[in-house]
Structure 1
Amino acid sequence: MSEGDGKDDALARLLRFVLTAGEAKLVDGEGLRAADGRRQPLAPAVLARALSLGLLRRDGARLSPLPEARAHLKRRLCDAQTPFAGQHRDITEVTVLCDGARERAVANRLESPLASLGRLKEKSGEAYLPDGAFAAGERLHADFTRGGLQPKMTMSWEPRIASRQKGEAGAGRELTDTALAARLRVARAIEAIGPELSGVALDVCCFMKGLETVERERQWPARSAKLMLRAALLALARHYAPPAKTTRRSHVWGADGYRPDLLR
């Protein structure tokens, strides 16, 4: 490890200590001391570097973090190749299906507006979106992606005039069976949600629009998209996992001496 890496590690330890403590006090001969009694040694050169970079504020013997301190620490802990992009990510491990087999993968929880909504809590402490509703939204997004329904973000170099011969199939012939099946599942899901709620589900789950953007485009009242999306995902969850039907035995009321007719 080089000398520069050692200084960066010491600076990262200092920032982590001050950020978790909220405020730390400089004690002669001891280094730093937090309000909860935790202590950490501190080199004067590391403190001088943190102050010169605008990461900490010193008020006498007290140190407090500045807004840049948290972003600087996240860049330090992220991948060295993409530090500035990494500070805006919330990476977590997930399990995905790939060709019928379960594999481990990493996902950015801040990429999808549905993921941020899934972290909301009710006043009672329960999740705002039930697990079934959140999984239904993720499943709709997966089918939408497999079906190739996302709008193209780059120029298409395909010729405008089709080169197929007369009587041949159209563009659908190039779709795989997996893509066609995914498109069929998306169509059935939209039909199950209904025309009143399917639009907000597509905007948030498939086109990755934020709730504020949906409200502005549809001219809805503030915080109404969250309620509409919850209703849409609950309906979608019932479509993917319909509740079990309870069968009741039929009863026939009859007077005294009544006997049913037997089928011959």
Structure 2
Amino acid sequence: MTQAALPREMFDFPAWVPAAARHYVIHTELGLSIRALAREAGCHASTVMRQIRRFETRRDDPLVDDALRHLAELQAVDGAPRPGERAKAEDDLTVLGKLNAPGAVLAIARGLDRAVIAYDGRDETETVDRAVAERLALNDWIAPLPAADMTARLVRYRITQGGRQRYREQLAEAENRAGGFAEAAVEFTYYSGKGGPRGTVRVPTAESPLAGLSRRRDKDGNPFLEPDLVRVGERLREDFELAQLDEASAGIAAILAAEGEAADLPAGCTAARQRLRAALDDLGPELADVALRCCCFMEGMERTERRKGWSARSGKIVLRIALQQLSRHYAESYGAYGPMIG
């Protein structure tokens, strides 16, 4: 069967399904050749072959086998529910968090719709939807115990290292959302000064991400961001707003270019641009980029971490370092109280 003979719907899998599992189902169940799959995926045929062979060896795992079988049965049925599709990211976070506890084991019997999580030394148990368990197994976030009998009616699973990493990433995303670093757009109101459009500045009506992060506590119970650091970040944003810059045109390179200011800019705007330029120049490219995006653009920390390829929750540490350096810059340049703005 050629690639052209297959409906495009057959390539439309739920977002949670790994690429290797998609290739396996399309090749073994729907009949597309490895070379055609490689062309579709934009990779070498040997890569697809290794993926297919690996999943073939994993079919001894009953959860993986059932997930692949369900995907194959329902893939071409338009609008049909797919295994784990009702399982949201919150379900992953909840179950992985429970399995991350010492001695936690997930046990599931063939033919049952619910799995059970049990803990060493504890009498309590918790149930998990089988669709969620299939999703975790297919992504290699849980795996059978090393000595597990795959032919037994009851199979036990533990969280894998990949599952622990996934749990940390999801936990960081949830903490960022709770701390004000969500990816949702920040609302702004606008007002104009006497100068018409030139006097227009943006005023954020949503809470500053810094304010949300300041409520977070470290392991000793101290604020993650001291009030002085929050004020420093807000001071940077005030200069950004007074400088009448916007996210579309205010990259680090443009600000540091130090080109001649427009003749019709108000004096306060020019002074704010000079203060902003001096602060970012003192921070250096990396710290300046984080401070500008978080404090001025209100960019979510998750997006910043992904864009820079950082590990989860590392962005807030870099931001705190940037604010500490910014605090020293303001103290050394302007003294304890600094210049009047405007």
TM-score class, shorter-chain normalisation, is 0.3 to 0.5
The TM-score, its normalising length taken from structure 2, stands at 0.38
The TM-score, its normalising length taken from structure 1, stands at 0.46
Q: More helix per residue: 1 or 2?
A: 2
Larger radius of gyration: 1
